[in-house]
Amino acid sequence: MGIEIERKFLVKGEEWKKQSEGQLYQQGYLSTHPDRTVRVRTVEDRAYLTIKGRTVGANRTEYEYPIPYADAQSMLDHLCQSPIIRKVRYRVFYEGLVWEVDEFQEENQGLVVAEVELADEQQTVAFPDWIDQEVTSDEKYYNANLLNYPFSQWDQ
Amino acid sequence: MGIEIERKFLVKGEEWKKQSEGQLYQQGYLSTHPDRTVRVRTVEDRAYLTIKGRTVGANRTEYEYPIPYADAQSMLDHLCQSPIIRKVRYRVFYEGLVWEVDEFQEENQGLVVAEVELADEQQTVAFPDWIDQEVTSDEKYYNANLLNYPFSQWDQ
């Protein structure tokens, strides 16, 4: 178990893409209840089951367990709520922090967000030029919510 | 991943109790959706996360992973839907099969059911004297449903 402290931002331009190679993520949900989200995720040929509690400020209780890839693929195909989210994640290092930039595909094509994990909520963050508006508290950017209300349906 | 074939029965008398020592089970649910049930279970000092698909006949897809006990207890206390189910499970051997007899506690006190796992749906089963009516297909006996509609509230 851990407590996750993350801040999430929109991204401008494509400068971030030059510094990293992406990895394909697939993820589906066995529960999207905000008090007890259960996620099945594959990262290239690895797979994980992740349980998260409700977000309080930028904190969220999280439990993650590796599982066999074949189990995860079968759950994504047969058990998870549809649709499945597919995205390419880039890890970009900047001033001592790691930014995870997610470029969504399919129903969420066009959406790109960057997340940074922090040691505490007050930690000072050096922002790369390509970081735009903060959306940490905006629930429509939660991956679990992108299933039922994908980016392609948002009013721009 | 496995496919679970189980039959479930009510139990009469207490003869079964003489042949086995019980183990305390606690279980809570992160999802009670019938297409994708997610259960946290402790058995004495061990703990498991179990994912089950929809029951079709007596078949059900099941994935089970051991997890740290402390994680499970924290999920039972803080993340799972309340109430938590507590029961004592007895394993009784009879004519080559193992019967799991669950004696429920708290909101479900008075309910005792026996389950037997089979190799296929047509397998011949030798019934002990203390086995009563079959309830395999009766959804109110699903553990996930005993949360919202416990035995103490049933019309007898």
Beta carbons within 8 Å of B3's beta carbon, 6+ residues apart: B59, B60, B61, B62
Backbone angles phi, psi at B45, to 5 degrees: -105, 15
Of A107, A68, A109, which Cα lies nearest the Cα of A84? A107
Beta carbons within 8 Å of B14's beta carbon, 6+ residues apart: B130
Beta carbons within 8 Å of B46's beta carbon, 6+ residues apart: B66, B69
Query: B31, A30: Cβ pair inside 8 Å?
Result: yes
Does the structure's ipTM exceed the value 0.90? no
**Diameter of chain B measured on Cα atoms:** 43
Give the whole-angstrom CA distance, residue B156 versus residue B152.
9
B50: nearest CA in chain A? A49
pLDDT at residue A148, as a whole number: 85
CB atoms within 10 A of CB B77: 11
Alpha helices in B21-134 (DSSP H): 69-78
> How sure is the predictor about B2, in pLDDT bands with cuts at 50, 70 and 90?
low
pTM: 0.82
Does the pLDDT value for residue B82 go beyond 90? no
Q: Name the pairing type of β-strands A2-11 and A112-117.
A: antiparallel
Residue carrying the six token digits 């993650």: A64
**Which 31-50 residues of chain B touch chain A by CB within 8 A?**
31, 33, 35-36, 38, 49
pLDDT at residue B113, as a whole number: 97
Number of domains in chain A: 1
Tens of each residue's pLDDT in chain A, 156 residues: 567 788 999 999 999 998 788 999 999 999 999 899 999 999 999 999 999 998 776 677 899 999 999 999 999 999 999 889 999 999 999 999 999 999 999 999 999 999 999 988 788 899 999 999 999 989 999 888 898 899 999 986
Does the pLDDT value for residue B69 go beyond 90? yes
Beta bridge partners of A46: A43
CATH number at residue A75: 2.40.320.10
Size of interface A-B (CB pairs under 8 A): 60
> How sure is the predictor about B95, in pLDDT bands with cuts at 50, 70 and 90?
very high
pLDDT at residue B156, as a whole number: 60
Beta carbons within 8 Å of B72's beta carbon, 6+ residues apart: B40, B41, B42, B47, B48, B49
pLDDT at residue B80, as a whole number: 95
Tens of pLDDT, residues B10-58:
999 999 998 788 999 999 999 999 899 999 999 999 999 999 998 776 6
Query: B74, A31: Cβ pair inside 8 Å?
Result: no
Range of the domain at A107: 2-153
How close A148 gets to chain B, by Cα (Å)? 17
- Is the torsion defined by CA of A50, A51, A54, A58 positive or negative? negative
Write down the mean pLDDT value for chain B. Answer: 91
**Omega prior to A150 cis, within 30 of 0:** no
Does the pLDDT value for residue B144 go beyond 90? no
The larger pLDDT score, comparing residue B128 to residue B57, is at: B128
* CB nearest to A75's CB, from B51, B70, B71: B51
